[in-house]
Chain A
């Protein structure tokens, strides 16, 4: 988890962001690659291939055939700007993407980037969004099942951990600590969307707000590894963690999930790795960072695999690269465990600076193309 996400306010922002993505994720026919509206701009004309189109994502493929630099605007009737593309040089092509609701608009080309431009009225129809590719609906449904499954599987693993805490068994609790977190780490973007649970379960000491009591996994991690003892306080915290995770397990099915939020969630999982795990900040006492790392990658890969049937059709080069980079990061991680079926990884404090740099490079190599997955899905 990221410390910066811990306040209720920022968590709420995350939820809002998720909702915003949802709003954008509807697919319209006009958004498919060949459904773009051609805008042919010249020094004295502004021609559109169609002036009536469906609401949703609209793509304008602009070509400036004039001799002057031009700009193209999509405007509300009162001249407010919906979307714009400036500085389109003579002989060049540019794309402009906008999310548009039903209504009347104007497209303006401004040769020389001056004046009110050459106007063209356009009508956007359809109060409801166009149908989504059923494959994407299937992906969302499968991912929802996966998220629930991960939460369900977490409960018994967490019980092993909290039972050991309750029994005062330091060694047993240490052993059960990292496995108890795997399901959470695999689905973290969804888990984090519940702004009230995350700050109680996965907060690090430096992420605490003023007046906030430190609870959850990392508080117990410190007790086990730094202090080496379990007291009454820790036993109470174990009970509390069980309750909070059970709460998550009950509510996780209600999370808002869309194809693009899945894609961006996959990228966020790698962001978690890039900011918290490769630095060793996340598990600073237990040094089990590579377990979280692995779980984050697995969660990202799950979302990716589900979206791949659609993404590979829209952008085969991207999915080829992602297949390659997922394989590469797994191979890199495999170097740090003796048995590929277990989650026993090298303690992160034993991973030297140059190996950490290599892991970081591997994460970048995967994250950069992964950040383009949402676009490939939204096409």
Chain B
């Protein structure tokens, strides 16, 4: 689905309450126990850090420096208020040894618990043996936890026969995504056995997290591809200003709210009875790198741009309406308008939770901005979420003239980590 899909169920609570000014620095947090960290942070710096007490993953848009609790019924980084920055990495598992893969997932979980709490990995970035490289790479020292979340996913290839004995556990809904018309997918930037989505309000914190996990994984995993993102293009905390995408349009007005437990249960979290018990409380993630033809878009007339989206550029109001959040009247839009084609009403109610980010990877060899949208969508069942919507868009969306999908991947995202003895993938491998 493309950059600007307006798919989304009911919506808006202004959840941005509870923001305060100062959060403790990472340095002052070093050494605090993981689970107690959020409370400790609150005491130390006066920050309001949300604690998930009901397993709903309903975290308010807290202070941008605070720590997001790592433990809970669902993995953080899905319903969590969208952070400003992204480093997403897909890994190939290079070991053939199941036990080694399990140990890696345990090691990653432990490191993730520390890093999301603002702590260093292992014995830290300094103070150890002078002749040996430090355990932690150190570039996040002195930075706040920055609401870092780390979210893991398992790709279809991990379940392949003869690899780790998981073939019987591949969920039916973990489908191979078909090629859509117009796709120009680069295999070197697609798929992967594992993925880790690192979101944070500080890019350095997100990059630090992926870098350290990659390092811990060397010899067992290798980074297949990765993507940096900035400028969140959708929000799980609908507030006054919906973020704009690289085309200058407001995007994600109708996204699933991270505080709407009913909508999350219906559209995002996999249920106990959905066919894969190990995945209950988890979700499915579709990742697509969508390149925008920025220069030709910028030469397109305002009226055509607005027709293509079905919204006006200034306010973001649907065609014929005054305000961004006014209920769209789809029939007033052109038949190939993006919002019209992406809307749940056009797709039998198909609804996904989007967490996309803009990207700009410099310029290509032809002097064109290599920019666009790194689309991330979470849903309970891809066959009822991403696939029907993208089928509708790929066939008819007027926006297709200005965008191209260049990478694609799908992952099953396991449920949250319950406590210190739990680890990413425990239910899958047990």
Contact = CB atoms under 8 A, between A and B. Distances in A.
Interface of A: 21, 24-25, 57, 64, 69, 83-92, 94-97, 99, 260, 263-264, 321, 325, 353-354, 357, 361, 364-369, 371-372, 374-375, 378
B131 A24 contact: yes
Interface of B: 27-33, 92, 94, 123-124, 127-133, 188, 215, 218-220, 222
A365 B94 contact: yes
A94 B123 contact: yes
Given A88-B31, A361-B222, A264 B128 contact: no
B94 A21 contact: no
Nearest to A258: B131
A319 B92 CA distance: 24
B408 to A, nearest CB: 18
A375 B131 CA distance: 6
B219 A325 contact: yes
A97 B127 contact: yes
A370 to B, nearest CB: 10
Given A89-B33, A368-B219, A95 B27 contact: no
Contact of B188 (A86, A91, A354): A354
B132 A375 contact: yes
Interface centre among A85, A88, A367 (most CB of B within 10 A): A85
Contacts of B188: 353-354
A371 B32 CA distance: 29
Interface centre among A90, A92, A368 (most CB of B within 10 A): A368
Given A95-B123, A99-B130, A374-B129, 18 more contacts: A21-B131, A24-B131, A25-B131, A64-B31, A69-B32, A84-B127, A87-B27, A87-B28, A87-B29, A89-B31, A89-B32, A95-B128, A97-B129, A354-B188, A365-B218, A365-B222, A368-B218, A378-B132
A83 B127 contact: yes
6 smallest CB-CB distances across A and B, nearest first, come from A89-B31, A87-B30, A375-B132, A365-B219, A361-B222, A368-B218
A264 B30 contact: no
Contacts of B31: 64, 69, 87-89, 92, 94
Contacts of B28: 87
Contacts of B32: 69, 89
A258 B124 CA distance: 26
B180 to A, nearest CB: 25
B254 to A, nearest CB: 40
Contacts of A83: 127
A85 B127 CA distance: 6
Contact of B132 (A25, A92, A366, A372): A372
Contacts of B128: 95, 97, 375
A94 B124 CA distance: 10
A371 B127 contact: no
A371 B132 contact: yes
B219 A86 contact: no
Contacts of B123: 94-95
Given A361-B222, A364-B218, A365-B94, A91 B131 contact: no
A54 B123 CA distance: 24
A64 B129 CA distance: 21
Contacts of B92: 361
A24 B215 CA distance: 26
A21 to B, nearest CB: 6
A378 B219 contact: no
5 contacts: A87-B29, A87-B30, A92-B33, A97-B128, A357-B222
Interface centre among B29, B94, B131, B188 (most CB of A within 10 A): B131
Contacts of A354: 188
A86 B94 contact: no
Nearest to B222: A361
A86 B33 contact: no
Nearest to B95: A365
Interface centre among A21, A25, A357, A366 (most CB of B within 10 A): A357
Contacts of B29: 87
B137 to A, nearest CB: 12
A374 B222 contact: no
A341 B218 CA distance: 30
Interface centre among A87, A90, A371 (most CB of B within 10 A): A87
Contacts of A87: 27-31
A360 to B, nearest CB: 8
A371 B216 CA distance: 13
B342 to A, nearest CB: 35
A21 B218 CA distance: 26
Nearest to B218: A368
A67 to B, nearest CB: 12
Nearest to A113: B28
Interface centre among B31, B32, B33, B215 (most CB of A within 10 A): B31
A61 to B, nearest CB: 12
A88 B128 CA distance: 14
Contacts of A69: 31-32
B314 to A, nearest CB: 45
A96 B92 CA distance: 36
